[in-house]
Amino acid sequence: MGIPTKNSRRGPSDTDGQASSTGAHVSIKGVSVEYETARSGVKAALKDVSLEIEAGEFVCVVGTSGCGKTTLLKAIDGLVPISSGTVELDGKKVTKPGKSRSVVFQAASLLPWRTVVGNVRYGLEMQGRGRGKAKDDTARTVESLIELVGLKGFEHAYPSELSGGMQQRVNLARALACDPQMLLLDEPFAALDAQTREIMQGELVKIWGASNKTALFITHQIDEAIYLADKVVVMTARPGRIREVIKIDLPRPRPLQIKRDPEFVAYLDQVWTMIEEEGRLAAMRDRGVAQH
């Protein structure tokens, strides 16, 4: 079921025609990211990662902790410098953050002195939008997004007055407000309790389905990845490489009960086995290092 990623599957896809206004096609080729540590010199966080994401596709990335999942997301956004390789969005090379992508962070990262409205419009403001003639449009966009993420009535609440789940909804709405072609989600539900997380998963899929944006979702919850994704990318332990890309052939819309479906459980087993093996390999390697 796994599809080797090295052989690029780029080609005409049926959503290409409307790619610019909705989802973007992302092409990651041979990307490595290195960083310098004070103690042990240059280390690789990502090594030779290649991945094709079709326009409008929902891709989840899973892997052991510290395997470079977040680095991959930051590389796609242009938040970290790439040592070698390229990231292209609809053929345009990414070097720094741009309007075509929005990040939903693991920590809600809301400005505590701004209300919900102020936080949702923050990204638009930073991009110089929402001023002058566009002011009314922006206000309407913000209002409708707040309603979309289910925070109607909390427009003028401060983040400290919101629960963790509500803060993440603001985080999501802020990213959506910029109307990006691609959403980059960095374990946005990791800090939520199990029940809230499931609710948020369902709503995210609904919102994504309506927008047809391309989405890259980092998580360490395997069931979350399979439930959300068209494609699950399993990464190796440090330095992060892509081990396997698994296509999830489950029909949409997916009700939450699908998580008990035998097919779903089979995917779960498959991914879990790989990650477990990676964890073991990493532990063995660490022990090996320790013995030297």
Partner 1 sequence: MASNVQSVDDASSVSAAEAGPPRSRRAADAAAAKRRSRNRKLKKMIWPLVSTLSVVVFLGAWQIAASTEAVNPLFTSSPSRAVEAFRDLVDRGELWPNLWISAQEFLIGFGLAVVVGIPLGILIGWYRPVEAVFSPFVTFMNSIPRIALLPLLIIWIGIGVPLKITIVFLGAVIAILINTIAGMKALDQQLLTMARSFKASDFQIFRTIALPGSVPFILSGLRFGLGHSLVGVVVGEMFASNQGIGHIIAVAGNTFQTDLVFVGVVIIASFGLLFTWLLARLEQRFESWRKP
| Residues near partner 1 (CB under 8 A) | 77, 79, 96-99, 101-103, 105, 107, 109, 111-114, 122-123, 125-127, 158-161, 178
Minimum separation from the CB atom of position 105 to partner 1 (A) = 6
Minimum separation from the CB atom of position 127 to partner 1 (A) = 6
Minimum separation from the CB atom of position 102 to partner 1 (A) = 7
Minimum separation from the CB atom of position 292 to partner 1 (A) = 35
Phi and psi torsions of 100, nearest 5°: -75, -15
DSSP 7: S
Torsion of CA 76, 77, 83, 87, to 10 degrees: 40
Q: Which residues pair with 214 in a beta bridge?
A: 182
CA 11 from centroid of its chain's CA atoms: 23
Which of 191, 233, 193, 222 is closest to 58 using CA atoms? 233
Minimum separation from the CB atom of position 163 to partner 1 (A) = 11
The full DSSP string for 178-210 is: T--SEEEEESTTTTS-HHHHHHHHHHHHHHHHH
